[in-house]
């Protein structure tokens, strides 16, 4: 899944989106120790690269309060700035589902934990068995698992969910994500097996993260016609009252089948969770101060510094905090649509990046709150550095004939810094040279190619980024490039992105502790031509495809690190994006004296997910 301009599109990631998780992304990671050493037997959980923290029969996760009381209400605004919702099916391409629907209503075979980034434990499945050759995984469902209509969760529902998600009518990103699944076989009433085309430690994790719904949901209809049918799922909440398109309340199911389960102890304590939707940031902020909702995550440094201040904060009635985590840092950048003819030359894309003065923006607009993104896996173990070392070269060498020689003999490209001698002026001079080499020269008052066509760029935005784009636009103007700012609403942006109808667009991909399954959708050649995929850039590079495959076949954490560094290096030499910035903290504000939280802080989390899953109403606390 990716985020853009503070929005998220839930259907882009088939795993429950715990904003973020991105915001940081949650892939329920599987690949147990017994799988790594070639054994095959049932287990209560799955760890991709090592031992599981919680032994069989554990009572609860340590980051919850198992005695937390149930009751009370919690209200918030979605991290996305969607202005409405028009369907109850979050898995189809067209339309907008309400915020929270995926995470609160639908459940998966496995459950994530915030203290182990690549481990998951049985939720709908009571045990998991991986074949010694890693070409299949069997799940046995809990006999007590129930949908909200009281019907049992059966193996046929698992297969039905898979068939619907990968069939016509669903978002194409699901077919891409589950493309390595060759078959789903119902073994008996409660047992189901996923067969894989190739072995891979992450594949059991991917299918374990698939949302499960009843075969009666939308039965007899094409999946894209299942629009207003209320989901028949097994989660802790169901859809309650709503002001359609403006706010929605989820009601805790008093008969929730898993409320005594160890992976659900102390969780989902609020009776009602309400998402409020506001059309602009100012109205949203004033509504928070007026008490219309309880919690908000703030994404703009200027707004955090200048708006979230005043008497209510100084009196302690409203709390603002900067929360830290161990999450991998998010990626954020201007994505360049290489399907457009003016962006196909790598020298042009490199030149565009030279026109962005991050240091000035951070100083003048962001109160020094951000760090510069340096790659697709910024500020974590997967980020390529300097020249490739021996382990990386071993991965890259078989692809030498397909790769730019610079990948091997030049340091990995770093985001341009105007702190260097000459500042922005020197960067623009270098950009002018690169553009000329690519056939673009200044003629008749504009930068033009040999056919006399002027170089133009349209920046598509949902609003709020015009001030940030303005200095970049002015620098491009000095190069003779006409850059226009196009503001659009959520629905139009979604449609244009689905059709790859844009020049420049800001996207944010949540950091991941073990990237893998989603890389094909984001960077793979096949997804570049699939409507609605996450490959907005339009990358079609066999070497990138080969590296993604190597990442997905990694058997150890060191292998994963090396192969992701190689992928990061190749992508950065392609100059497919203009790196922006990231924050190392979550900025959140909430009502004081109303809520209580567990004593053990999470490690890998997003605030919204952590709060909804583990906080409780203070006045009812023991």
Question: What residue has token string 């609003």?
Answer: 463
Would you kindly state where each structural domain of the chain is located, as residue ranges?
A: 11-277, 331-582
Supply angle C-alpha 353, 524, 394, rounded to 5: 85
> What pLDDT score does 117 carry?
82
d(CA 56, CA 608): 29
Instruction: Please give the Cα distance from 276 to 283 (Å, whole number).
Output: 11
Q: Residue 39 is encoded by which pair of tokens? A: 């054994």
- Tell me how far apart the alpha carbons of residues 533 and 209 are, in angstroms, rounded to a whole number: 19
Neighbours of 402 (CB within 10 A): 14
3-state helix, strand, coil split of the chain in percent (to 5) is 30, 20, 50
20, 43, 17: which is closest to 28 by C-alpha? 17
Backbone angles phi, psi at 472, to 5 degrees: -65, -45
Residues 24, 71, 210, CA angle at the centre, nearest 5°? 35
Counting beta carbons within 10 angstroms of the beta carbon of residue 269, is it exposed (0 to 12), middle (13 to 18) or buried (19 or more)?
Answer: buried
Rounded Cα gap, residues 433 and 223, in angstroms: 52
In 174-317, DSSP assigns E strands to 181-188, 191-196, 211-212, 237-243, 247-252, 272-276, 295-298
CATH of 331-582, one of 3.90.1150.10, 3.10.105.10, 3.40.47.10, 3.40.50.620: 3.10.105.10
CATH class of 11-277: alpha beta
Residue 445, judged by CB atoms within 10 A of its CB (0-12, 13-18, 19+), counts as: exposed
pLDDT score for 335: 97
* Contact (CB, 8 A) for 165 and 178: yes
Q: Would strands 482-487 and 456-461 be described as parallel, antiparallel, or unpaired? A: parallel
Closest C-alpha among 110, 135, 436 to residue 263: 110
Q: What is the DSSP letter of 11?
A: G
Beta-bridge partners for 394: none
Helices (H), 126-184: 155-166, 172-177
Strand 581-582 versus strand 371-372 pairing type: antiparallel
Cα–Cα distance for residue pair 99/235, rounded to 1 Å? 15
Tokens coding 487:
């503001």
Place of tokens 């984001």: 522
Q: Specify the pLDDT at position 42.
A: 64
DSSP 532: T
Cis peptide, bond prior to residue 20, ω within 30 of zero: yes
Residue 328: per-residue pLDDT: 85
Say which residue the tokens 């039905």 belong to: 160
Question: How far apart, in whole angstroms, are the C-alpha atoms of residue 569 and residue 567?
Answer: 5
Q: Per-10-residue mean pLDDT for the chain, 622 residues long?
A: 37 29 31 36 79 92 96 91 82 91 97 90 96 93 97 98 96 89 98 93 90 96 95 97 88 96 97 92 91 94 92 94 89 96 98 97 92 91 95 97 96 94 94 98 95 97 89 97 93 91 93 84 93 94 96 89 97 97 93 92 92 88 40
Interatomic CA distance for residues 465 and 452, integer angstroms: 31
Determine contact, residues 150/255, Cβ cutoff 8 Å: yes
Residue 447 structure tokens: 């930068």
Which SS3 state, helix, strand or coil, does residue 236 take? coil
pLDDT for the residue 512: 84
Among candidates 235, 227, 232, which has minimal Cα distance to 251? Answer: 235
Write b or e for each residue in 127-146: b if 16 or more Cβ atoms lie within 10 A of its Cβ, otherwise e.
Answer: bbbbbeebbbbbbbbbeebb
- Return the residue matching tokens 């896996």: 377
Helix 466-478 with 423-437: angle, nearest 10 deg:
60
- Angle, helices 346-354 vs 423-437, to 10°: value is 160
In angstroms, what CA-CA distances link 408 with 30, 189, 568?
33, 54, 13
> What's the token pair of residue 41?
């037997």
Give the Cβ contact number of residue 148 at 10 Å.
21
Helices 542-552 + 557-573 axis angle, to 10: 160
């Amino acid at each position: 899944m990716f985020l853009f301009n503070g929005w998220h599109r839930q259907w882009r990631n088939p795993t429950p989106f715990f904003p973020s998780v991105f915001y940081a992304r949650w892939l329920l990671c599987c690949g147990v120790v017994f799988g790594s050493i070639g054994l095959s037997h049932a287990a209560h959980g799955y760890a991709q690269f090592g031992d599981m923290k919680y032994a069989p029969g554990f009572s609860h996760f340590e980051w919850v309060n198992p005695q937390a009381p149930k009751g009370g209400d919690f209200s918030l605004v979605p991290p996305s700035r969607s202005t409405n919702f028009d369907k109850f099916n979050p898995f189809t391409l067209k339309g907008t589902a309400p915020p929270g629907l995926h995470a609160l209503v639908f459940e998966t075979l496995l459950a994530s934990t915030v203290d182990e980034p690549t481990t998951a434990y049985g939720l709908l499945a009571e045990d998991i068995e991986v074949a010694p050759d890693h070409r299949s995984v069997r799940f046995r469902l809990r006999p007590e698992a129930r949908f909200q209509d009281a019907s049992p969760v059966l193996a046929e529902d698992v297969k039905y969910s898979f068939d619907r998600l990968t069939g016509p009518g669903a978002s194409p990103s699901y077919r891409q994500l589950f493309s390595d699944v060759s078959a789903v076989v119902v073994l008996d009433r409660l047992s189901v097996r996923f067969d894989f085309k190739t072995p891979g430690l992450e594949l059991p994790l991917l299918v374990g993260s698939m949302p499960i719904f009843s075969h009666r949901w939308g039965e007899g209809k094409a999946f894209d016609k299942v629009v207003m049918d209320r989901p028949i799922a097994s989660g802790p909440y169901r859809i309650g009252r709503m002001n359609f398109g403006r706010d929605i309340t989820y009601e805790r199911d008093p008969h929730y089948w898993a409320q005594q389960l160890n992976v659900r102890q102390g969780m989902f304590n609020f009776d009602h969770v309400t998402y409020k939707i506001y059309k602009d940031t100012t109205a949203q902020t004033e509504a928070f101060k007026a008490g219309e909702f309880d919690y908000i995550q703030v994404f703009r440094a200027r707004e955090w510094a200048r708006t979230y201040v005043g008497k209510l904060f100084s009196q302690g009635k409203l709390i603002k905090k900067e929360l830290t985590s161990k999450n991998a840092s998010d990626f954020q950048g201007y994505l360049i649509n290489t399907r457009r003819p003016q962006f196909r030359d790598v020298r042009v894309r490199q030149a565009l990046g030279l026109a962005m003065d991050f240091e000035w923006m951070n100083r003048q607009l962001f109160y020094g709150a951000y760090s510069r993104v340096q790659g697709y896996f910024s500020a974590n173990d997967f980020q390529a550095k300097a020249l490739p070392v021996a382990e990386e070269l071993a991965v890259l060498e078989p692809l030498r004939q397909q790769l730019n020689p610079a990948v091997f003999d030049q340091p990995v490209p770093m985001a341009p810094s105007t702190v260097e001698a000459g500042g922005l002026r020197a960067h623009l001079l270098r950009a002018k040279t690169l553009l000329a080499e690519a056939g673009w020269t200044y003629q008749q008052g504009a930068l033009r190619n040999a056919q006399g066509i002027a170089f133009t760029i349209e920046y598509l935005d949902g609003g709020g980024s015009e001030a940030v784009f303005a200095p970049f636009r002015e620098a491009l103007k000095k190069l003779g490039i006409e850059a226009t700012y196009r503001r659009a609403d959520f629905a139009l942006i979604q449609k244009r992105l689905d059709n790859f109808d844009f020049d420049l667009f800001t996207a944010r991909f949540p950091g991941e502790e073990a990237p893998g399954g989603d890389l094909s959708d984001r960077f793979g050649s096949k997804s570049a031509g699939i409507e609605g995929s996450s490959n907005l850039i339009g990358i079609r590079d066999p070497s990138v495809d080969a590296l993604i495959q190597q990442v997905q076949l990694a058997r150890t954490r060191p292998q994963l690190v090396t192969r992701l560094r190689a992928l990061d290096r190749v992508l950065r030499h392609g100059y497919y994006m203009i790196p922006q910035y990231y924050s190392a903290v979550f900025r959140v504000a909430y009502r004081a004296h109303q809520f209580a939280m567990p004593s053990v802080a999470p490690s890998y989390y997003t605030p919204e997910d952590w709060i909804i899953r583990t906080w409780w109403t203070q006045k009812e606390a023991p």
